[in-house]
Chain A
Amino acid sequence: MSRAGWTPWLLGATLLGCPAAPKDEAGRPAVEKTAAVDRAERRAYDGAPPVIPHPNLGAECVGCHHPRGVQIEGLGYAPPSPHEKTSGLSERSRCTQCHLFRQSDELFRSNQFAGLSQNLQKGERLYDGAPPVIPHDVLMRENCAACHDGPAAREVIRTPHPERVRCRQCHLAVSREGTTLAGPAR
């Protein structure tokens, strides 16, 4: 079984009974495409906390989403939390404070909100061979390994050197630019 076959996106599709995932010509799930579509589908806008892609299993979230993650036979891989090292968001914190279950497919009223679209761009490098700059916000995503290592990591973003645990020693984080404190809207 390929590593990609364990992705949590597929876990979500399986558990939620989502519309069938796109397939390639050989009938295998087109994993990368599915992952990107699912990733976007689960967020109100890029940067919003994703909704939970599986039903409420009545268990503590960290029971499966613990530092090593859990492989669930036939379902997929529950990755660790990217917030593991975030102050105030550790272990016994309240995941459902931000991550919502989906109990219904209905809308109360339709809504015309269109949010920031998904940004899966690569990090820039100063020169060939330089360590790429982190291309996304890192606030509350201090545990890089949650997405960049282990079975949940998609091929394109998997670190080639998981043994070097201090990622930000070499990979710089982009700062949040442009927050304006004063002055009326333009």
Chain B
Amino acid sequence: MERRGFLKILGATGGALAFSNTELTPEAQAQGVREKDLRWGKAPCRYCGTGCGVEVGVKDGRVMAVRGDAAASVNKGLLCAKGYHLPAMLYGEDRLKQPMRRGADGSLQPLSWDQALDLIAQKYKEALAEGGPESVGMYGSGQWTIFDGYAATKWMRGGLRSNNLDPNARLCMSSAVSGFMTQFGSDEPMGCYDDFELGDDFVLWGNNMAEMHPVLFSRILENKRSRPGTRIVELATRRTPTSDYADLYVEFKPGSDLAIANGILHLLFAKKKVATAFIDENVVVKRGIEDLKTIGYGCYDEQAERYTFEDKAEPATWKDVESFLADYSPAKVQELSGVPPAQLEALAELYGNPGRGTVSLWCMGVNQHVRGTWMNNLITDLHLVTGKIGRPGANPFSLTGQPSACGTAREVGTLSNRLPADRVVTNPEHRAEAEKIWNLAPGTIPAKPGHHAVDLFRAFMRSEVKVLWIQTTNPAVTLPNLARFDRKPGDGRFLIVSDIYPTPTTDLADLILPSAAWVEREGMFGNSERRTQHWHQQVPPPGEAKEDAWQIIQVAKKMGMGSLFPWPEDAWHEPMFEEYRKFGLGNGKDLASYKQLEETRGLRWPVVDGKETRYRYAAGHDPYVKKKAGVHFYRAKGNGEKAAFWIRPYHPPAESPDQEYPFWLTTGRVLEHWHSGSMTRRVKQLHQAVPRAYVELNRVDATELGINPGDKVRLKSRRGVLELVAEIDGRGRPPRGTVFVPFFDEGLLVNRLTLDAMDNISKEPDYKKCAVRIERVS
């Protein structure tokens, strides 16, 4: 209903595409255009954290083709189906082209940018006057460019004096952030994609890489083909296209990966496969709070409104480690996980074999976990005790979901507790350094961390946060336990949403702003391997759409905070980036210069004297390491520049199947769709390949329930109900007792069923484990 009204307005005002400079239809313009007629420019792919290089072919202000960039070392010319179909993503008929305000009757009325910006400034000012900096907020994205994230953090913290800024990366990468921070005092992996050719054994922890990082998986497959003996080991809770290529497939009960990792450690110590000299030189032991009651899950009882648990590190010894690991015998691990001792032995053999380069890979399975930080710690622990770290072909490597989860959410520091280049708001020195670079009065940046994503929306629902601005993300599809966040616009709070298409999130907005997408503006992304990639604007945005950073800068100016962005209106990208760069120079987070990034297919930081770094902390690779050989964890200042091994126990999931809700529900993506589907579903070929969400069932379970492929099935959790078509033995094959549903479909919202339980340290929700009941409908 609302959506229809929206389209009508677009039709009335949009008309022909505003950027086509002739009367011809796009098809007529495209007639007879050949490859050689296009202007080709470089850009990273808009979608996943792999960061493939593409060549963008442009004519008359329109993108008409892309090619895999053969000169890009990430993908060497290959893309996946999403990447090849990038151009069409820009041209969905319902692109947002002008600002719109929702009237009292719910209808949308166009307004000018000037009016829209005035309105935002006024709403923020009113909220600040009434409720102070804690009553305003902003929710961004790992799909923001570095420019957008930097403008947002500077405006929020330096202008509004509020830390209520968090990105959707909280829902996907924050467990990796807290994992790396607790162990190395510095975020992001030490290894890089070169490991895909150099490694011997690839251990995938809950990671359907064939679908989620397809081009990187191709690199592993090629390694496997050209170097016989290369192995893929997959630990998973359901079979996926990745499993077809696994030399060893280890299926485990959801959440029991904690027990498996401890079980491997147990065997490594028992069999004396520990690299003693390495740990003596480079590793300390730590232990945190382990009491289940104290920690909780952030979704029940008094924690259900605000979850503020804080871990406390205690020093420990290797003796403590060995006595702690005594609890994780193969028999005990089998009891918790279902993994037979022989498989655990095989894993220990693999990690403990000093002659083989081991690369551990993980993404959402480990991060979206009620003990995600612990799981990150444990995987890295395996590499620390075996010394398989900081070496070409042997590293723990965390993959990222979004194109700039690393570049924008993590490096710029748009998480509610972070400042650029590994700094945190709770550290007075870090705040002072930021205030100095930003030319702010001492004490401007608040010391108290803001709300993390789920709590930011809880606070908005409580009306503690009165004005909230969402950019480049679609939380009305992607937040867990969605029913908690149902709202009607005009309820006294003010929600602003910047996006490129109408979505369920714009349906909730009081004010909608049209954004420029991908190559319609200049940008930079940072991918999983620390590579910063720059692109120039290649085509004009449609209608009045504007880039997100511009929107923020203009509101800041309207609020009298223009001094935060003192650069010329037509040339602010370069000086903004060069200011941001100051945060990392000289401390191991050095980014390449704007000029250098313009000219290359991206560079991996730290970039010192114009040279990138493939392996961080490694002698002979990292310019900050002065040693002749080995590694130096020079960023771990708190641990005497040594990495931390963490003792982390097994805890059960927040909700497990029982008699009433006997099945595990796990959720995730499919290769063809990006995130909440608002872009890829508008691409014909991608939509037609996977037109709607479905539920994957085990064949035996389905037979018992009388369900055939294609039947309609009702899924019910303690939070919601959803009807879906059953798929059996399709691309994913769950074990008995587990079902899987993808989350891309805004018409079939699986997040109405999921639970908003979250990791104790990173506050990242667990989308992989809750309990449901299943009935056949027809």
- Could you tell me which A residues sit within 8 Å of B by CB distance? 44-49, 51, 87-94, 96-117, 119, 121, 137, 139-140, 176-186
Contacts and interface: CB of A to CB of B under 8 A. Distances in A.
29 contacts: A44-B685, A45-B87, A48-B65, A49-B84, A51-B688, A89-B218, A90-B225, A92-B225, A93-B218, A94-B241, A96-B81, A97-B210, A97-B218, A97-B671, A99-B81, A100-B81, A101-B689, A108-B681, A108-B682, A109-B93, A111-B683, A137-B67, A140-B68, A140-B77, A176-B55, A182-B598, A185-B39, A185-B58, A185-B539
A110 to B, nearest CB: 4
B92 interface: yes
Given A87-B222, A94-B214, A179-B55, A46 B79 contact: no
B78 A88 contact: yes
Given A49-B81, A98-B80, A182-B599, A116 B34 contact: yes
Contacts of B210: 94, 97
B383 interface: no
Given A45-B65, A104-B687, A179-B55, A112 B672 contact: no
Given A89-B218, A180-B42, A139 B77 contact: yes
Nearest to A178: B40
A92 B245 contact: yes
A88 B34 contact: no
Contacts of B57: 116
Interface SS of chain A: helix, strand, loop or mixed?
A: loop
Interface SS of chain B: helix, strand, loop or mixed?
A: mixed
Nearest to A87: B222
B464 interface: no
Contacts, number: 193
B41 A179 contact: yes
Given A51-B685, A98-B81, A185 B41 contact: yes
A107 B222 CA distance: 36
B644 interface: no
Contacts of A180: 39-42
B636 interface: no
A44 B40 contact: no
A185 B65 contact: no
Nearest to A107: B684
A185 B535 CA distance: 10
Contacts of B539: 185
Contacts of B40: 176-180
Contact of B221 (A46, A88, A182): A88
Nearest to A180: B41
A127 B610 CA distance: 48
Nearest to A116: B65
B689 A100 contact: yes
Contact of A44 (B70, B78, B85, B537): B85
Given A48-B685, A104-B691, A117-B32, 7 more contacts: A88-B219, A94-B210, A94-B217, A100-B81, A104-B687, A112-B91, A114-B30
A57 B26 CA distance: 36
Nearest to A106: B691
